Amino acid sequence: MSINHVLVFAYGELRDPRAAREMATRADWIIAADGGLAHVQALNLKPDLLVGDLDSVSPEQIRWAEKMGAEVRRFPLDKDETDLELALQEAVATGCSRITITGALGGRLDQTLSNIYLLNLPVLADLDVRIDDGAQEVILIHGAVTLEGGLGDTVSLLPLSPIVRGISTSGLRYPLTNESLIFYRSRGISNEMLAENASVQIQSGILLCIHARREVIV
């Protein structure tokens, strides 16, 4: 089977289980990053791979995953990578073109930031990779991206490099046309979608895009 879209469950908060279940219907392969298996099990989904040091899953959960047909790849507790980083490496190895990560936001701030920084892994540079918890999606922009959402959705653009140049947007209330954003300035916060689609493109730098869906903001 050709694998184009991989869905990875991390062990953070799963804000919108219904959205996660919908993501699973569009994925060709499901990876549980260690404790992310709890989300997969709660949603009654079939995991294809369980990966990590497995310190956040019980023997019963591992047996359940194996019974469901999942391959289990266990790594040592003393390792340099987080379980999510290992899961992303495994996702890339499938030859997919798209990766969606859910359960990667909320909880410990250091873990959340680390999960976001993982979007800059060199092996992900040519893939469409997004963190999505149903309420928000987080995308690292190297070139151009299209956002699908709705009127009134919030879009924030945050430079992760000292300066991001040549930013042009369409479909946003406050447009940018070949402009720059600086790492320590807040200009890119809280823009707004004017339709169901918007686009952002840059010429140089690394730009973090956070798209918050209006209908699920609480």
Same domain, 124 and 155: no
Question: What's residue 108's pLDDT?
Answer: 87
Same domain, 174 and 111: no
Is it the case that residue 17 has pLDDT exceeding 70? Answer: yes
- Read off the CATH number of the domain in which 189 is found: 2.60.120.320
Same domain, 101 and 151: no
Digit-coded pLDDT (tens) for 107-158 = 889 999 999 999 999 999 989 999 999 899 999 998 999 999 999 999 999 9
Digit-coded pLDDT (tens) for 69-109 = 999 999 998 888 999 999 999 999 999 999 999 999 988 89
In a domain, 139, yes or no: no
Last residue of a domain, which of 110, 134, 158? 134
In a domain, 75, yes or no: yes
Boundaries of domain holding 170: 144-216
Same domain, 126 and 156: no
Same domain, 128 and 151: no
Domain tally for the chain? 2
Same domain, 123 and 169: no
In a domain, 18, yes or no: yes
Question: What's residue 170's pLDDT?
Answer: 96
Is it the case that residue 214 has pLDDT exceeding 90? Answer: no
Same domain, 27 and 72: yes
Last residue of a domain, which of 134, 154, 171? 134
Task: Please report which residue ranges of the chain form alpha helices under DSSP H.
Answer: 17-26, 37-42, 59-67, 83-93, 109-117
Digit-coded pLDDT (tens) for 177-207 = 999 999 999 999 999 999 999 999 999 999 9
Question: What's residue 217's pLDDT?
Answer: 44
- Read off the CATH number of the domain in which 15 is found: 3.40.50.10240
Same domain, 29 and 124: yes
Question: What's residue 1's pLDDT?
Answer: 66
Same domain, 211 and 185: yes
Is it the case that residue 216 has pLDDT exceeding 70? Answer: no
Question: What's residue 196's pLDDT?
Answer: 94
Same domain, 118 and 23: yes
Question: What is the model's pTM?
Answer: 0.92
Same domain, 38 and 107: yes
Last residue of a domain, which of 116, 134, 152? 134
For 139-178, b where at least 16 C-beta lie within 10 A, e where not — what string?
bbbeeebebebeeebbbbbbbbbeebeebebebbeeebee
Q: Own/partner pairs for 192-197, CB < 8 Å, 24+ apart?
A: 192/152, 192/153, 192/154, 192/155, 193/147, 193/149, 193/150, 193/151, 193/152, 193/153, 193/154, 193/155, 194/151, 195/151, 195/171, 196/148, 196/149, 196/150, 196/151, 197/146, 197/147, 197/148, 197/149, 197/171
